[in-house]
Structures are given as C-alpha cells and as structure tokens.
Amino acid sequence: MRFVLALLALLILAIALSVAGMGPFIVTREGQFKIALFLGDPTAVITQPGIDVTFPFVETRSFDGRWQHLGAERKEIPTSDQERIIIDSYAVWRISDPLLFYKKFPTGMAEAETQINQQVRGKLREVIGRRTLAEVLKEARGEIMGELTAKTAEAVKGFGIELNDVRINRTELPRRTEENVFARMRAERDRLARKYRAEGEEQARRIRAEADREARVVVATARGQAEIERGKGDAAAARIYAEAYSRDAEFYGFLRGLEAYRKTIGKGTTMVLQPDHEFFRLLSRGSERGGPESSGSTE
C-alpha cells in the first residue's frame, strides 16, 4: 500500500515536472520539434510527434517545424546594363535539422529570418545582376525563380533549414524605363488603331467594288440576253413575213407601196402632179371605156 502510494506520488511529481517542461515525459505535438538539454547539453532531439521519456530535470526547447513565410523588403536591384529594377520577393522555409538550427541560431527564429533574407537578397543581386533589364523582363519568371531558389537553398544548407522556394512577386520598373514602356505601348496601340481603320477601309472598298462589279455584270448579262431575245423576235418575224409575202411578191410590193403612201404623204405635203397621172385619167379622158382595168371594174 505504501509502495503504491509512493509510486503514485512519484508519478504525480513526474507529471508536474513534465508540465513545467523539465522531463522526464516530453510531449511533442504535430508540426513541432523538441530538443532536451541537460545542463546545456542536448540529450535528446525529437522530430516525431508523441510522448517520449528522457531524464528528469532537463530543459526543453520547442521549434516550429511547419513551413514559414518570410517576406523580403522591396529592393532596388541593378541589372547588368546599369538599369534598376524594384523586386518584391518572399521565401518559404522550415527547420529540417533542429539541432543544427539551434546551434546556428540559439536565439531563435528572428535571427534565422535575418540570415535567410540576407542570402535571398544576395542571390537576387547575383541572378538579376547577370542579366540585362530586357532579359529580366523577357525571361520567364519561372526560370529566374528556379535559379534563385536553387542558389539560396544551397547557401542555407548549413543552417539546418529546408528552403521550399523563393518567389518573385511584384516587379516595378524605374521611372524612366516605365516612361519608355508607356511610349512603346502607345506606339503599338496607335499602330493597331491605324491598322484596324485601314483594314476597315480595305474591306469596305472591296465589298463595294465586288458589289458594283456583280451589279454591272448582272445588268450587262441581262442586256446581252435581251439582244438575243430581240434578235430571235426579229428573225422569227422576218421568217413569218417572208413566208407569207413570198406567196405573191409583186402584190406585196404594190400593197406595201400603198401603205407607205398612207404613212408618208399627208397634211403639209405638196405634190406636183401631171394631168395624165393615173389618178387623173378619168379627169382628162371623160367617161370613155378603156384599159383593161376599167373592164375589170365592171365585172
């Protein structure tokens, strides 16, 4: 009974000590690393979550093992052609080796962040500094970011840190360069506007010309067809006349002559006639019989 009570008391003491962070039980949560120090010397490095048992009266240090965001101050960075570009970047990193990290940065995260920022800035200068402004603007951001990430990751390797990536966020051009960009943009737009207007004219004139052509062709084709039809009419008429009149060409000539007189001689015509004219035959010769014609008339 006494033994059980003693054990219980020990357990309670151990729990009380553990709650104060002095071991022997160490509870490590997900996303956490812990180091147990005994008189300043690390006795245990815990990278897996759960409960661990170590010596009592240790000192524990907690580290955040999750991905950390680290924004960098905006920096003006010179390019190889002495231009300047303003770049915003950010890095995402986490502690990968808590012991190494603790040795490197005994005071904690703030110191690590300063170090990482310094490295990022240095590599940014290096990567951008080898390119002209045009190249920086032209080249895919992905490529520059890839190079930047690789170089920075290499540099912070000894810090017990894992660098996920360094990303370029906002880039801003120096004032003078920006003016140039605006001038070029304006020129491009003017070119486009002129092109569109000229294209409009081109298309419109083509459509009009095509319409005019088609209209003219339609009318001319119809005129041609019309001539053919008229010709057909004339030809058919001529054939019909010829067929009928050829029955007695002499009589047709006579009849047609009379018809022509009717049409051509009339009011306003002056005729100079001789009394022996056919019409006046009766007038000059009286009522005497004569000529085969008069004999015909008596029939």
Partner 1 sequence: MARTGGSEERKVGRLLGRLLLGVLLLGGAGAWWATAGWFVLNPGEVAVILRFGAYARTVTTEGFHLKIIPSPVETQEIVNVSISQRREFGDVDATDPEVLAETAMQTSDNNIVHAEFMVQYKIGKAFESRYRVADLEEILRDSAQAAMREVIGRNTIDDVLTGPGAIGLDAAELLQQILDGYDSGLYVGSVELQNVQPPESVRDAFDDVIAANQDRNREVNEAEGYANEVLPRARAEATEVLQGAIAYRDAKIAEAGGEAQRFLAILAEYQKAPAITRKRLYLETMEEVLPGVEKVIIEPGTASVLPYLPLGAARGGAD
Residues 136 to 155 in contact with partner 1, rule: CB under 8 A: 137-138, 140-142
User: Counting every residue, how long is the chain?
Assistant: 299
Least Å from the CB of residue 21 to partner 1: 13
Q: What residues form DSSP beta bridges with 93? A: 68, 163
95, 76, 78, 72: which is closest to 86 by C-alpha? 76
Distance between CA atoms of residues 185 and 27, nearest Å: 61
Nearer to partner 1, 30 or 41 (CB): 30
Instruction: Return the number of the residue (114 or 295) whose C-beta is nearest partner 1.
Output: 295
Q: Scan residues 22-81 and list those touching partner 1 (CB under 8 A).
A: 27-32, 48-51, 64, 66-69, 71
* Interatomic CA distance for residues 279 and 275, integer angstroms: 8
* Residue among 57 and 251 whose Cβ is closer to partner 1: 251
Is 176 a binding residue for partner 1 by CB under 8 A? The answer is no
Output phi, psi for 247, to 5 deg: -65, -35
Cis upstream peptide for 292 (omega within 30°): no
CA angle in degrees (0–180, nearest 5) for 32-36-37:
140
Q: Restricting to residues 251-270, name those near partner 1 by CB under 8 A.
A: 251-252, 254-255, 258, 261-262, 265-270
Residues 184-203 that bind partner 1 (CB under 8 A): 184-186, 188-190, 192-197, 199-201, 203
Q: Which stretch binds partner 1 (CB under 8 A): 5-13, 113-121, 122-130, 160-168?
A: 160-168
Q: Are 255 and 241 in contact (CB under 8 A)?
A: no
Residue 39 C-beta: closest distance to partner 1, Å: 26
